[in-house]
Copies of this chain bind each other. A is one copy, B any other.
C-alpha cells in the first residue's frame, strides 16, 4: 500500500468531496464557486479541497486573486485502478456468489 493510494482513498471517503469531484467534472471552479453549492462555510470547503489536492484528485492553479480548482484525471484513474486487482478473481467468484449470498442471509 502506497501513501499516495491511502491519500486518494481518504479523499474519496467523504460524500461532500465525491460531490465536489462530480461538480468539477462539469467545469473548473474557484473555492468560492464550489462553496456556493454546499451549505457549509467556505473554510470547510477549502479543507475538503485541500484533502482532494493531497489525494491528487484535483489541481489548483492561481488565476489573479482566485484559485481555480481543476479535476485531475490521473489521480482519479489511479484510484480506480486499485479495483483492477480483483479482475482475475471475479469470474470465478461470480459463479458461486448466489449460493454465498443465500448463506449470508441466515
Chain A residues within CB distance 8 Å of chain B? 1, 5-6, 9-10, 12-13, 15, 18-19, 21-22, 25-26, 59-62, 70-74, 76-77, 79-80, 82-83, 85-86, 89-90, 93-94, 97, 100-101, 103-104, 106
Contact = CB atoms under 8 A, between A and B. Distances in A.
B83 A71 contact: no
8 contacts: A13-B13, A18-B82, A59-B104, A60-B104, A61-B100, A71-B89, A73-B97, A74-B97
A59 B106 CA distance: 11
Copies of this chain present in the complex amount to: 2
B90 A59 contact: no
Nearest to A94: B73
A85 B89 CA distance: 24
